[in-house]
Chain A
Amino acid sequence: MENTESVLPLVCKIIHIPEKPSFLPHLQPTVNVLASVIEPKDANTLVRKLNKIAPLENLQHVKRVQKKSIDGGKPQLSLLLCMTVGNDDGNDCMQYEILELVKSYQLSTFITKVCKYAATSKEEWDEQCKLWPTSGITGFSEDESQSVFGFMRHTINLATSSIGQVVNAAVIVDPSTKQVIASACDQVISSASLASGVSKEGSCSNYLENLKASNLENQQTSLLDGSISEFKPITNNVACVHPWQWALRSSGCWHPLQHAAIVAIEYSAARDLKLFPDHKALSPLKRQKIEESGFQSIGHSYQSLRPYLCTGYDIYLAWEPCAMCAMALVHQRVRRIFFSSPNFSAGALGSVHRLQGERSLNHHYAVFRVVLPEEVFRNKVVDGKTSGSG
């Protein structure tokens, strides 16, 4: 219910990147529903019955009851019965059970509009409630926000300072313990050939300028119609931004697909193997035999101890990941993705593609853009709170 933006300093922001493209608050898509004015005394019974026979499966964010005060301050309750199917003539396609309910409570139904998608901002929510009440946006607690900002600072430090030039960085975090599970930078080009490149300070301010420019735009629209061309020289080495240009790099130790997120996943898998080696020590066939022959409890205690891939973990990225990295994070079952800068040329979480909205995928993560104040990039080395412990 609470809007985080009002709690935090204006310069720090966590922006949810929804599953569908953004709409202007007053232009949000709607769907028609069947509703009826009801007697307040019947409200509880009716809601309970309706939740059973006609749950709002695709409209989880929509509230069942609308309360309006009509003249004289007397409250009037309207109840959402069901979605209308096909044509707008609700009665024709009404479910039998609902029809019964309408008859027995003598309801006079009408068709009204509700917003199709959950609100993603305070402005959107305000507009939605003008039509029909919806649940508000869920924010981050103060404590959680501070932890998110801390990890993002840490990630940007990695991206700007680890090998002397701006690359992408990825940090996988277990949010329950606030422990860093794995962290990595792009390894598409060799660090040796980069070290001789631009100095630390130079690259830092480059990143800052780039970020400043992209942040100055309106947050909502910048993801949709921003342009990368003017920042191109700065992001040259960010693998996810220029995934096709690896061949133009100098030689040395390199790999065209070793983007930061891919490497971080590799590290976390290696860590998993190291911390829970027993599971591997048995040959897969042997393990299956053990599990089949009734020693299941042994197998299960391992299963419950060790995480399944990156289930429950968050990942922080300096740049919005490309399609390869974003899909890799689906495969590895990451819970939430936080990135700092959008990637207009190849980003797969809202800029070019929007993987979090592809319903056919077997796993879905929540995606957030984290906006940090400029000082973070200027004084990043001085900041003591940056490292996320571990």
Chain B
Amino acid sequence: MEGLWITKQVRSPYGVGLWRTIRNQWPKLWGNSRIVIGNGRRTSFWKDVWMASYAKETFEFMKLALEQANDALANLEVPVGCVFVEDGEVIASGRNRTTETRNATRHAEMEAIDFLVQQWQKNGLSPLEVSERFSKCILYVTCEPCIMCAAALSYLGIKEAYYGCANDKFGGCGSVLSLHTSSSNLPTSELASSKKGFKCTGGIMASEAVSLLRSFYEQGNPNAPKPHRPLKQKV
């Protein structure tokens, strides 16, 4: 096996950190690997979310969303932020406002959507025109949209969404439910045709998004009821 499926023992001190780690934690890696046989023309070891895999602007926009999340954190809100992009330009941004409004539905996406709807209405756009505008929108959000937001995004019919970290508890884009896919067990085909899905990609700058959330929950959620999630005592 060694030298074929397992890398050889790493002895060189420089530039081989990645391989050393792989070698040292081989059982862990192997336990999480599977072999896929393609057409034999090339060997690809893994698919990695890396800077080069996406356009540079994807990360630029996600950085803006992270800025929004940072702003939320500074205001003792759950640090999730987002931006809406149309034709390569940011047209709206939003961040969590659940504590301030005492309304747990005021997620970053909802804030940005409300801004857009108001703006477009002010400009005299009809519902059909608004729908058209939404269909050109790409959302960048630091955390996977929850079931509520994913449903809302589907109702609006946005074009695409990129998110940072997944949301195992509430996620509506694959984690708990998959509301971004247009297929569903609807009884009538007629209704299904009006239902819209959107393309959704996760894992963009996920670690940044997670570390923001972690710093929030370490300081304790001041908005949660007392017995629910006790504040950590500061030493």
Interface flag for A335 (CB, 8 Å): no
Total number of residue pairs linking A and B with CB closer than 8 Å: 143
Distance in angstroms between the alpha carbons of A136 and B109 in the assembled complex = 44
Determine if B76 is an interface residue (Cβ-Cβ < 8 Å).
Answer: yes
A-B contacts, 25 of them at CB < 8 A, read A229-B188, A244-B195, A246-B131, A247-B127, A247-B130, A256-B117, A256-B155, A257-B110, A257-B155, A280-B100, A284-B76, A284-B222, A288-B76, A309-B104, A311-B225, A324-B149, A327-B147, A327-B148, A328-B105, A328-B148, A332-B103, A345-B186, A360-B168, A361-B169, A361-B170
The reply to whether the CB of B63 lies closer than 8 angstroms to some CB of chain A is no
Contact A256 B130 (CB under 8 A): yes
Q: Indicate if A50 sits at the interface (CB-CB under 8 A).
A: no
Known pairs A273-B102, A303-B226, A308-B225; list 14 more (Cβ under 8 Å): A228-B191, A244-B154, A247-B131, A248-B128, A253-B121, A257-B155, A324-B147, A327-B147, A327-B172, A328-B105, A330-B170, A345-B187, A345-B188, A358-B177
Interface pairs A-B: 9 shortest CB-CB: A247-B131, A327-B148, A269-B103, A324-B151, A331-B104, A323-B151, A327-B147, A284-B76, A308-B225
Q: How far is the CA of A358 from the CA of B105 in the complex (A)?
A: 19
- A273 / chain B contacts, CB cutoff of 8 Å: 101-102
State whether the Cβ of A219 lies closer than 8 Å to any Cβ in chain B.
Answer: no
Within the complex, the shortest CB–CB distance from B80 to chain A, in Å, comes to 13
| Nearest CB on A from B127, distance (A) | 5
A227 touching B187 by the CB < 8 A rule? yes
Q: Is B113 among interface residues, defined by CB-CB distance under 8 A?
A: yes
Q: Which of under 10, 10 to 19, 20 to 34, or 35 or more describes the interface residues of B?
A: 35 or more
Across the two chains, which residue of chain B brings its CB closest to A276? B102
Complex contacts, A285 vs chain B, CB 8 Å:
76
Distance to closest chain A CB from B145 (angstroms): 10
Q: Does B21 contact A (CB under 8 A)?
A: no
CB–CB B176/A331 < 8 A: no
Provided the pairs A257-B113, A322-B151 are in contact, do residues A352 and B105 lie with their beta carbons within 8 angstroms? no
Q: CB distance A324 to B186 under 8 Å?
A: no
Q: Which of B174-190 contact A (CB under 8 A)?
A: 176-177, 179, 184-188, 190
Among A300, A309, A330, A360, which residue has its beta carbon within 8 angstroms of that of B226?
Answer: A300
Q: Is B159 an interface residue (CB 8 A)?
A: no
Give complex CA distance A263, B157 in Å.
21
In the bound assembly, the distance between CA atoms of A314 and B186 in angstroms comes to: 29
CB distance from A244 to the nearest CB of B (A): 5
Tell me whether A362 is interfacial, beta carbon within 8 Å: yes
Q: Is the CB of B126 within 8 A of A251?
A: yes
Q: Is B25 an interface residue (CB 8 A)?
A: no
Chain B neighbourhood of A243, CB < 8 A? 151, 155
A246 surroundings in chain B (CB, below 8 A): 127, 131, 155
B168: nearest residue on chain A (CB-CB)? A360
Q: Given the complex, which residues of A lie within 8 Å of B130, measured CB to CB?
A: 247, 256
Given A247-B130, A251-B127, check contact A361 B156 (CB 8 Å): no
Q: A255 contacts the other chain (Cβ, under 8 Å)?
A: yes
A309 touches B102 (CB 8 A): yes
A266 and B147 form a contact (CB under 8 A): no
A352–B117 touching, CB < 8 Å:
no
Digit string of A238-268 for contact with B (CB within 8 Å is 1, else 0)? 0000111111111101111100001001100
Provide the residues of chain B in CB contact with A352, threshold 8 Å.
184-186
A353-B177 CB under 8 A given contacts A228-B187, A324-B148: yes
Would A227 and B188 be within 8 Å (CB), given that A257-B155, A284-B75, A358-B176 are in contact? yes
Interface residues of A in 358-379 (CB under 8 A from B): 358, 360-362
B44 is an interface residue with CB less than 8 A from chain A: no
The verdict on A287 contacting chain B, using a C-beta distance below 8 Å, is yes
Q: Which of B96-139 contact A (CB under 8 A)?
A: 98-105, 110, 113-114, 117, 121, 126-128, 130-131
Say yes or no: is B146 at the interface (Cβ < 8 Å to chain A).
yes
Which residues of B sit under 8 angstroms from A360, Cβ to Cβ?
A: 168-170, 176
B152 within 8 A of A: yes
- B234 within 8 A of partner (CB): yes
Give the CA-CA distance A355 to B148 in the complex, in Å. Answer: 11
CB-defined interface of A278-305 with B at 8 Å, one 1/0 digit per residue? Answer: 0010001101100110000000100100
Scoring A residues 312 to 333 as 1 if CB is less than 8 Å from chain B, else 0, what string do you get?
Answer: 0000000000111111101111
Q: Is B95 interfacial (CB-CB < 8 Å)?
A: no
CB distance from A190 to the nearest CB of B (A): 10
CA distance A273 to B102 in the complex (A): 7
CA distance A332 to B223 in the complex (A): 12
On whether A262 and B99 interact (CB within 8 A), knowing A243-B155, A284-B75, A323-B148, the answer reads no
Per the bound structure, the CA–CA distance linking A244 and B196 in Å amounts to 7
Residue among B121, B146, B151 facing the most chain A CB atoms (10 A cut-off): B151
* Contact yes or no, B105 A331, CB < 8 A: yes
What 1/0 flags go to B60-86 for Cβ under 8 Å of A? 000000000000000110000000000
Determine the chain A residues whose CB is within 8 A of the CB of B228 once the complex forms.
308
A27 to B69, CA, bound (A): 49
Is A229 a contact of B187 with CB atoms below 8 Å?
Answer: yes
CA distance A353 to B172 in the complex (A): 12
Closest to B107 in A: A331
Kindly list chain A residues whose C-beta atoms are within 8 Å of the C-beta of B185.
Answer: 352
Check A339 for interface membership: any CB of B closer than 8 A: no
Chain A residue contacts of B156, Cβ below 8 A:
256-257
**For B225, what are the chain A residues with a Cβ–Cβ distance below 8 Å?**
303, 308, 311
Chain A residue with the shortest CB-CB distance to B113: A257
